[in-house]
Structure 1
Amino acid sequence: AIDDDPNISEKVLREQFEKLLLNPLFGVGQREETARRVIVIDALDECGLEDDIGTILRLLPQVQKSTSVQLRFLLTSRPELTIRLGFEGIADAHQDLVLHEIEMPVIEHDISLYFEDQFQRLKQRRSFPSDWPGDAATKGLVDRAVPLFIAAATLCRFIDDAKWNPQKRLEAILTDQSTYVSKMDSTYIPVLKQLLTGQNETESRTLLEEFKEIVGVIIILAIPLSINSLSHLIDRELEDVQCRLDQLHSVLSVPNNFDTPVRLLHLSFRDFLLDHHQEKSKFWIDEKVCLSVPVAGSQSLMVLSSEPEASSRPSDEKATD
C-alpha cells in the first residue's frame, strides 16, 4: 500500500486505515484454521488530536468482518473523557478492564514482579548482593505503588538514578514517601494541563478556582465524600462538581453513582498537589485555604460526621503503611 501511495501518511485516518490494514486483511485467503493475532495500542490517550482518538475507536471494530484472520486489539489508556465517550460509541464491540477495580492481590502480585525484574536489571549493572533489596523492602515499595504501575516505574527511576546510592534512595522512600513526590510531575502535569486546553484566560482562571476548591476538599478530608455531599459542602451545583470531576478519572476514582464516595487512586496525587515545591505551579493547592472553605449551612457540617457510605480509602491505607 505504501509503494502504491507514498504519501499515504498525509491522508485522513479513515483512508490510511482502509489501505494499510483493512484491505490487506480482507485480501488474506481462507485457511483451514482461522489465524489469531493481537495488536497492542499503548497510551491511546496520548494520541495528538481528540478527534483522531474518536475516529480510531470507530474504525477498529471493522476488522471483525474478516473471516480469515481473527484480529484483536489491546488498548491501554488513561480514562480521559474523550476515551470514555469513544468506547461508549462501540459498547457492543469491546470489553473493558479498569485497573483500580481489579482485585488488589492481583495488582500487588503484578507490581511485585515488576519491581523484581527492575531490581534484577539494576543488580546486573551495579554491585549489589543477589538478595538485594530483600522481601520486606520490595513489599514496602509495592504498598506505596499500588494500584498504579506508573508509580512503581517512578519509584524505580528514583532508586536507579546513577548519580545517587540506590540503597540510600530506597531507604529514603521507605521512611518518607514525600521523597519522590516531585518526580511525579511527568505523571500528573499532563493530566492537569488538559483541563485548560482550549480555554481563554478568564475561563482558565475560573476552572483553576473550581479545581482547587473541589479537589482541595477531596484531598484534605480524612473521610471521602460523595459528589452529592461535596456539592452541599462547598455550596456548588451538583452538575458543576460532576463536570469538573469528569475530567479527572485518571487521578480520582469518580463513581457514576452520586452517593458513592470519590476516592484518590493514589496518595501521591494528594502529596503532589500540596507539595510546597509546587507553589509556583498553577495547580498547587494551599492546604490552609482548603481547611478554611466556608461550610454551606448546618446540613453540610453534618456531612463530615455522618456520611453513611464513607469509609477509609484503601489506596491511602496502602500508601501509608
Structure 2
Amino acid sequence: MYNILPQRPRLPELASRIAAGAIHDSAERCDAPKCQPETRVAVQDDLYSWIVEGDRESGPPKKMKWVTGPAGSGKTAVMGSLAERCAPDGLLGATFFFASWSASTGRRRKTAFVTTIAHQLAEHREDLKNAISNPIENKPSIFEKNLHTQMEVLVLAPLREVALQPDRPGLRGAIIIDGVDECEAEQYHDTTSKGTGAKPVRTNAQDQLEILQVLRAASSDPCFPFRILIASRPERVFREFFDPGNNAGSFAKKLDLHEDYNADADITLFLEAQFNQIRRRYNIPPSWPPPGAIQTLVENASGQFIYAATVIRFLDMGHEESPKGLLEAILEVGTRALASNPLEQLDMLYSHILESSPDPPRSVRWIRAIELLNFIPGIVTNLLLQSDPESNEAEHLLGNLHSLIRIPPRSDQATAHYGFHHKSLLDFLEDPGRCEKLYVEISEVSGFIWDQFIWACSR
C-alpha cells in the first residue's frame, strides 16, 4: 500500500497577477521611508494596540481605521514601520502600498489589488493556501472580474471555509493599505460606441471609491478576522466616505496624524540623529549645527516630516559645497517664507534645491518628463531626453537633485527606473501658484518629449 501525500497546492496563476512591488517588504520598497527609531512611538503604539485589542469603547467593534494627514506628514513611514512591527508577531495579514510615481502599473492601479491581498493570505497559513487555490482552479476567469467579485471568491469565501474547520487557531491581525489616493483610474474600451473607438472617462476618485467600498464590504463580513488600516491624504472622496454623517462612524474611525499627534518632538529627534551622522561622516565639530538651527527647521517643517527628510538628503548628497554652507543657505531661504502658509517653507526648499541645478528650467522639464516616462528604464530615458548622445546630460542637470529624485546608478540603468522620494515634489511642480518661476505646462512637457524623440530618431 502506497502512502500518497497530498500535493502542495500551487498558485502560479495568482502569483503572476500580483503587484509584488506593492508589498511592504518588496525590493522596490527597499528605500521606502520608515520611522526614525524613537519617533512616532505614540501613534504606532496606538495603532498596534487597536490591531491587537480593538476598540475600547462600547458598541459594535470597528474593523476599519482611516489614517490621514496632509502631504509629508509621515503616513507612509508610519504604515511601513507598523507593518514591520506586526509581521514578526504574526499579525500581518497583507499589505498594499500604492505609488503614483512607480514604474510598476500594478502599484498605480487597482487591477492587482485583490489578487495581491489574496496571495499574501495564501502565504499566511497553509489552510488558507488550500482554500484560495481551489476557486482559482474552478473559476479561472476570476481574474477578469470586478474587485467585489474577486474579493468574494479569492478572500471572503476562503476565510469562511477556514473559519468553519474545527480545531483551527483563529486568524487575527491587520491588512494595511497605504496611498489609496495615489491610485490611478483604469480605462476600459467602450464596446457600445460603434466605430468611434471612444473610451469612457473614468476618474481616479471612482476607482479609489471602489477600493474603499470593497474593503468596507469585507470588514462587514462576520468571518473576516482582520482589521483594516487605510492611509491616504484627506482628499474629497475619502472625507465623504469616512464622514460620520454618512454612517461611517458605525464601521470606521479616523486618525489624523497632523491634528491628533504633535510631530514637532519626533521631527526634533529625527534631525538630531541625522545631524549626528552627518557630523561624523564629514568630520564636522560638535558645535554644528549652530544653536537654534534645529528648532528653526522644526518650525519650518510645520509638522511635515518630508521637509526635514529633504533637508537632510540635501545636506548629505555629496555636493561640492560643505553641509555647513548648505544649511546656512536653507536657513536663509526659510526666513523669507510666509508664516500663514504651512506649505511655503517646503515650496521654498524645493525651489532652492531645483535652482542649484546648472539649468533649472531644463532640469524641471526632465523631471516632468521622467514622471510621464516612468515605465521605461533609466538608460532609455537618458537616450531620449539628452540633446547630445555623447554627453552625460542627466548627471549634469540632475546631479545636484539627488535629494529630490532617485537616480539609478549607471550600472543599473538598463533595468532600473528613475523615481521620486515623495509625491509632494510633483504636486509642487504641477501647481503654478506654488512653483511660480519654474512652472512648466504639461503640454510643453509633452512637446519637449516629442521634440526629443524626433531629434533622437534623426541622429
Query: What's the TM-score once normalised by structure 2's chain length?
Result: 0.36
| Higher normalized helix content (fraction of residues) | 1
